[in-house]
Chains A and B, each alone.
Chain A
Amino acid sequence: MNDREKKENYMTKDTENIIVVKNLMKKFGSFVANDNLTFEVRKGEIFGFLGANGAGKTTAIKILSGLSFPTSGDVMVAGYDVYKERELVKKNIGYMSQKFSLYEDLTVRENIRFYGGIYGLSSKYIKEKTEDLLERLKMKDIQNSLISSLPLGWKQKIAFSVAIFHDPKIVFLDEPTGGVDPITRRDFWEMIYEASNAGITVFVTTHYMDEAEYCDRVSIMDKGRIEGMDTPGELKRQFDAQNMDEVFLKIAR
Chain B
Amino acid sequence: MRKIKFILQKEFIQIFRNKTMLPMIFGIPIIQLVILVHAATLEMKSIDMYVVDKDLSSLSHKLVSKFEGSPFYNISGSSFSIDEANEAIEKNQADFILHIPQGFERDLMRENSSKVQLLIDGINGTAASLVNAYSSSVIADFNRNIIVDLTQRPQIVDSNPISVETSYWYNPELNYKIYMLPGILVILVTIISMFLAAMNIVREKEIGTIEQLNVTPIKKFEFIVGKLVPFLIIALFELAFGLAIGKFFFHVPMVGSLGLLFGFAVVYLLVVLGIGLFISTISSTQQQVMFIAFFFMLVFILMSGIFTPTESMPMWAQKVNIINPFYYFMRVIRMILLKGSGFWDISREFFSLVIYAVIMLSLSVWRYRKVS
A residues lining the B interface (CB < 8 Å): 62, 65-69, 86-88, 90-91, 93, 95, 97, 99-106, 110, 113-115, 117-120
Interface: B7 (CB within 8 A): yes
The answer to whether B217 touches A119 (Cβ under 8 A) is yes
Closest to A102 in B: B209
The contact sample of 5 A-B pairs, CB cut-off 8 A, is A66-B215, A86-B371, A110-B13, A114-B7, A115-B212
Query: With the chains together, A62 CA to B370 CA distance in Å?
Result: 11
Interface: B20 (CB within 8 A): no
Query: With the chains together, A65 CA to B370 CA distance in Å?
Result: 11
The answer to whether B211 touches A67 (Cβ under 8 A) is yes
Number of B residues contacting the other chain (C-beta, 8 Å)? 26
Known: A103-B10, A105-B17. A118 touches B371 (CB 8 A): no
A108 → B minimal CB distance (Å):
13
* Chain B residues within 8 Å of A90, by CB: 215-217
Select the residue from B209, B214, B215 with max chain A CB neighbours within 10 A: B215
* Chain B residues within 8 Å of A100, by CB: 207-208
Query: With the chains together, A65 CA to B212 CA distance in Å?
Result: 11
* Chain A residues within 8 Å of B370, by CB: 66-67, 86
The answer to whether B215 touches A67 (Cβ under 8 A) is yes
Query: With the chains together, A106 CA to B10 CA distance in Å?
Result: 8
B12 → A minimal CB distance (Å):
11
Interface: B18 (CB within 8 A): yes
Closest to A92 in B: B217
Query: With the chains together, A97 CA to B208 CA distance in Å?
Result: 9
Closest to A107 in B: B13
The answer to whether B215 touches A65 (Cβ under 8 A) is yes
Mask of B283-295 contacts with A, CB within 8 angstroms, 1/0: 0000000000000
Query: With the chains together, A65 CA to B211 CA distance in Å?
Result: 11
B215 → A minimal CB distance (Å):
4
- Cβ-defined partner of B371 (8 Å) among A67, A88, A95, A113: A67
B324 → A minimal CB distance (Å):
35
Mask of B1-30 contacts with A, CB within 8 angstroms, 1/0: 011011101100110011000000000000
List 15 other contacts, CB 8 Å, given A62-B372, A99-B207, A117-B3.
Answer: A66-B371, A67-B211, A67-B370, A87-B217, A90-B217, A93-B215, A97-B208, A99-B211, A101-B208, A103-B10, A113-B6, A114-B10, A117-B9, A118-B213, A120-B2
B residues lining the A interface (CB < 8 Å): 2-3, 5-7, 9-10, 13-14, 17-18, 207-209, 211-219, 370-372
* Chain B residues within 8 Å of A117, by CB: 2-3, 5-7, 9
A19 → B minimal CB distance (Å):
15
Query: With the chains together, A66 CA to B216 CA distance in Å?
Result: 10
Known: A69-B371, A69-B372, A118-B6. A105 touches B214 (CB 8 A): no
Query: With the chains together, A117 CA to B13 CA distance in Å?
Result: 15
The answer to whether B14 touches A105 (Cβ under 8 A) is yes
A83 → B minimal CB distance (Å):
10
* Chain B residues within 8 Å of A106, by CB: 10, 13-14, 17
Query: With the chains together, A88 CA to B209 CA distance in Å?
Result: 21
The answer to whether B9 touches A114 (Cβ under 8 A) is yes
The answer to whether B218 touches A95 (Cβ under 8 A) is no
The answer to whether B216 touches A118 (Cβ under 8 A) is yes
* Chain B residues within 8 Å of A88, by CB: 217
Query: With the chains together, A115 CA to B7 CA distance in Å?
Result: 9
- Cβ-defined partner of B212 (8 Å) among A69, A86, A97: A97
Known: A97-B208, A100-B207, A110-B10. A120 touches B3 (CB 8 A): yes
- Cβ-defined partner of B209 (8 Å) among A86, A101, A110: A101
The answer to whether A101 touches B211 (Cβ under 8 A) is yes
Closest to B211 in A: A97
* Chain B residues within 8 Å of A67, by CB: 211, 214-215, 370-372
Closest to B372 in A: A68
The answer to whether B214 touches A119 (Cβ under 8 A) is no
The answer to whether B215 touches A95 (Cβ under 8 A) is yes
The answer to whether B212 touches A95 (Cβ under 8 A) is yes
Query: With the chains together, A136 CA to B123 CA distance in Å?
Result: 76
- Cβ-defined partner of A118 (8 Å) among B7, B13, B14: B7
Query: With the chains together, A106 CA to B208 CA distance in Å?
Result: 15
Closest CB pairs A-B (n = 9): A117-B6, A99-B208, A101-B212, A95-B215, A90-B217, A91-B217, A114-B10, A118-B3, A118-B218
* Chain B residues within 8 Å of A95, by CB: 212, 215
A229 → B minimal CB distance (Å):
25
Closest to A116 in B: B6
B91 → A minimal CB distance (Å):
55
Query: With the chains together, A68 CA to B208 CA distance in Å?
Result: 15
Query: With the chains together, A104 CA to B204 CA distance in Å?
Result: 11
* Chain B residues within 8 Å of A103, by CB: 10, 14, 209
